[in-house]
């Protein structure tokens, strides 16, 4: 998968739905790539998922680059997309281009930015710098303070129209795909109809050109009940705890290490 292929990947043209999954380190990237995902997202959700924060506002470009490099070390066939973290593209356009360059040099093939028409200068500058850009509309987690929480977006027809206008403007600015998060299914489908670039939904219904989930949600590793839009395909959290309990029992009972585990 590369940026031109991604841009053209539309289900209405006969393409199969795209599969995107987050990855934050080498093992998760290697396992997801072996399963044949199309895109690996080094999401700023790593703030919540692996660093224990309540929101995504706590990661910096340097932290993102650290995780992008770990994912790239898996040398995946999948395209690596890196989130530009909060404040890395909200100042000058020149700073945004340099920050995106750090993520590309760390191993990303594209960057993702949150926001609509307010982000057009940044998107255009990144595209001018030959950096593939993915947009992100609907619930944009970096806006959590301004939005007053994590809520389903575009629930009124006016808000849905604004979101579609944002999508069309981002497409004209040169994005190669658009993530749509937490909107009614009809809005996910309407945006997908309105643009020629691939849309990738999370909590946006079945009508988008692809789906994205968080690695730890899919595998049951969060220790929390999954959100409504998540399908949990395994309960690895319980398996991990049971395995570690067995190890602890074996150590305490002097059953580990055995003779064949000893030099
Ligand atoms: O950071 C992330 O994991 C994301 C997905 C929710 C799309 O942006």
Q: Could you give the residue numbers annotated as active site?
A: 181
According to DSSP, residue 259 is labeled G
Pairing of strands 198-202, 177-181: parallel
For residue 212 and ligand 1, the question of a CB distance below 6 A is answered with yes
Q: Ligand 1 in contact with 202 (CB < 6 A)?
A: yes
Q: Measured in angstroms, how far is the CA atom of residue 232 from the centroid of ligand 1?
A: 16
Percent of the chain topping pLDDT 90? 99
pLDDT for 63: 98
Residue nearest to ligand 1 atom 1, measured at CA: 43
Per-residue model confidence (pLDDT) at position 51: 97
The alpha carbon of 112 and the centre of ligand 1 are apart by a number of angstroms equal to 9
* CA–centroid distance, residue 261 to ligand 1 (Å): 42
- The Cα–Cα gap between 182 and 194 comes to 18
Q: What is the pLDDT of residue 259?
A: 97
Mean pLDDT score of the chain: 98
For 132-174, write each residue's pLDDT tens digit.
Answer: 999 999 999 999 999 999 999 999 999 999 999 999 999 999 9
Confidence (pLDDT) at 253:
98
How far, in Å, is the centroid of ligand 1 from the Cα of 21? 9
Helix (H) or strand (E) segment spanning residue 81 = strand 79-83
Q: Note the helical H segments in the chain.
A: 3-7, 26-34, 46-49, 61-72, 93-106, 120-128, 144-147, 157-173, 185-194, 215-218, 236-252
Regarding the beta carbon of 134 and ligand 1, being less than 6 Å apart is answered: no
**Average pLDDT of span 120-140:** 98
pLDDT (tens digit per residue) in 211-250: 999 999 999 999 999 999 999 999 999 999 999 999 999 9
Ligand 1 pocket test: which of 23, 177, 212 has the largest number of ligand atoms within 8 Å of its C-beta? 212
Q: How confident is the model at residue 120 (pLDDT cuts 50, 70, 90)?
A: very high
pLDDT of residue 181: 98
Confidence band, pLDDT 50/70/90 cuts, at residue 33: very high
**Residue 79: CB within 6 Å of ligand 1?**
no
């Amino acid at each position: 998968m590369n940026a031109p292929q991604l841009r053209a990947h539309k289900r209405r043209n006969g393409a199969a739905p795209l599969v995107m999954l987050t990855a934050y380190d080498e093992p998760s990237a290697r396992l997801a790539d072996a399963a044949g995902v199309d895109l690996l997202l080094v999401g700023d959700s790593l703030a919540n998922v692996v660093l224990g924060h309540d929101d995504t506002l706590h990661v910096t470009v340097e932290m993102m680059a650290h995780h992008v490099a770990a994912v790239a070390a898996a040398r995946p066939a999948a395209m690596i997309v890196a989130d530009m973290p909060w404040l890395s593209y909200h100042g000058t356009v020149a700073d945004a281009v340099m920050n995106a360059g750090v993520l590309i040099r760390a191993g990303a093939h594209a960057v993702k930015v949150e926001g609509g028409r307010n982000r057009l200068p940044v998107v255009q500058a990144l595209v001018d710098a030959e950096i593939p850009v993915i947009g992100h509309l609907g619930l944009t987690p970096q806006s959590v303070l301004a939005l007053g929480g994590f809520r389903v977006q575009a629930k009124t027809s006016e808000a849905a129209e604004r979101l579609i206008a944002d999508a069309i403007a981002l497409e004209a600015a040169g994005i190669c795909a658009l993530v749509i998060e937490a909107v009614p299914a009809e809005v996910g489908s309407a945006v997908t109809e309105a643009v020629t670039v691939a849309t990738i939904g999370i909590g946006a219904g079945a009508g988008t050109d692809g789906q994205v989930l968080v690695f730890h949600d899919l595998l049951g590793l969060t220790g929390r009940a999954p959100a409504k839009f998540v399908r949990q395909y395994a309960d690895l959290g319980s398996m991990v705890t049971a395995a570690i309990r067995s190890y602890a029992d074996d150590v305490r009972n002097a059953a580990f290490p055995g003779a064949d585990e000893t030099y």
